[in-house]
Copies of this chain bind each other. A is one copy, B any other.
Amino acid sequence: MNRMQTLRIELGERSYPIHIGSDLNAAELLAPYVTMKNVLLVTDSNVDRLYGEKVQAELGKNAASVTKFVFKAGEGSKNLATVENICRAAVRAGLDRSSVFAALGGGVCGDMTGLAAALYMRGTRYIQIPTTLLAMVDSSVGGKTGVDLPEGKNLVGAFFQPMLVLMEMNLLRTLPERELSNGFAEMVKTAVILDGELFETLERSAPELLRLSPGSPIAETVKRCCELKGQVVAKDERESNLRAILNYGHTFGHALEAVTGYTKFAHGEAVSIGMCMAADLAVSEGLMSGEEAQRQEALLREFHLPVDAGESVSPEALLNAMEHDKKSAGGKIKVVLADRIGHADVFSGIGREQIEEAVSGRL
Contact = CB atoms under 8 A, between A and B. Distances in A.
Interface in A59-96: 79-81, 83-84, 87-88, 91-92, 96
Interface residues of A, number: 36
A97 interface: yes
| Chain A interface, DSSP helix/strand/loop, else mixed | mixed
A280 to B, nearest CB: 27
B80 A155 contact: no
- Number of copies of this chain that the complex holds: 2
Contacts of A97: 326-327, 329
A238 B151 CA distance: 32
Given A98-B329, A149-B87, A330-B98, A238 B157 contact: no
Interface stretch (A21-29, A113-121, A193-201, A248-256): A113-121
A84 B156 contact: yes
Interface in A219-276: 238-239
20 contacts: A79-B84, A80-B80, A80-B81, A80-B83, A80-B84, A84-B156, A87-B149, A88-B151, A91-B149, A91-B151, A92-B151, A96-B330, A97-B326, A97-B327, A97-B329, A98-B329, A120-B155, A121-B326, A122-B158, A158-B158
The 10 closest A-B pairs by CB, nearest first: A91-B151, A122-B157, A119-B156, A80-B84, A121-B326, A80-B80, A87-B156, A88-B149, A122-B159, A122-B158
